[in-house]
């Protein structure tokens, strides 16, 4: 979105095509497995591949590699290769990735205050809330 010369401030409330300005962020930051990865790197600092693999249970090496590549490409994660024997690779949050911290904090806060509301709503819905229509 850098080369947008003179578009009349397309606002989400007027432009149907931009119905959701947060979707791009969601695709980048909250796509499958990316939140655990980013959180892990954010909470535990620089880590090796296996550390991440063990920490994020049930993720397969293939998918972990895919997601790390994606995050590296998006500039959120920095990959450092140490040409040793055995080889060693370390991943860490980039500076850009660190700008997500307040966002993550706010989400975590929302979780602690509202997640049980969701749980309750689900139970209520499952018991008697089936839609009529």
Partner DNA sequence: CGGAATCCTCAGCGATACTG
Partner DNA sequence: CAGTATCGCTGAGGATTCCG
The residues that touch DNA, with contacts defined as CB under 7 A, are: 32-33, 48-51, 58-63, 65-66, 68-69, 79, 86-90, 131, 133
Q: How many residues bind a second copy (CB under 8 A)?
A: 65
Any contact of residue 39 with a second copy (CB under 8 A)? yes
Q: Which tokens in the block code for residue 98?
A: 């660190």
**Closer CB to DNA, 26 or 89, in the complex:** 89
Is 34 in contact with 67 (CB distance < 8 Å)?
yes
**Closer CB to DNA, 117 or 132, in the complex:** 132
Residues 6+ apart with CB under 8 A from 35: 29
Among 10, 50, 63, 89, binds a second copy (CB under 8 A): 89
Among 5, 6, 9, 117, binds a second copy (CB under 8 A): 117
- List, as one string, the DSSP characters of 78-109: EEEEE--SS-EEEEEE-HHHHTTHHHHHHHHH
CA–CA dist 88, 21 (Å, integer): 39
Is 130 in contact with 91 (CB distance < 8 Å)?
no
Among 8, 9, 126, 128, binds a second copy (CB under 8 A): 126
Is 120 in contact with 129 (CB distance < 8 Å)?
no
Any contact of residue 21 with a second copy (CB under 8 A)? yes
**Closer CB to DNA, 29 or 68, in the complex:** 68
């Amino acid at each position: 979105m850098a080369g947008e010369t003179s578009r009349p401030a397309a606002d989400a409330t007027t432009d149907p095509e931009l119905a959701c300005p947060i979707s791009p962020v969601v695709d980048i930051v909250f796509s499958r497995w990316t939140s655990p990865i980013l959180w892990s790197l954010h909470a535990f600092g620089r880590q090796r591949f296996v550390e991440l693999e063990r920490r994020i249970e049930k993720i397969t090496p293939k998918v972990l590699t895919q997601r790390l590549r994606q995050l590296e490409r998006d500039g959120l994660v920095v990959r450092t290769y140490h040409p040793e024997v055995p080889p060693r690779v370390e991943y860490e949050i980039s500076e850009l990735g660190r700008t997500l911290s307040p966002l993550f904090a706010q989400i975590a806060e929302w979780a602690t205050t509202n997640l049980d509301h969701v749980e309750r709503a689900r139970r209520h819905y499952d018991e008697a809330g089936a839609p009529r229509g």
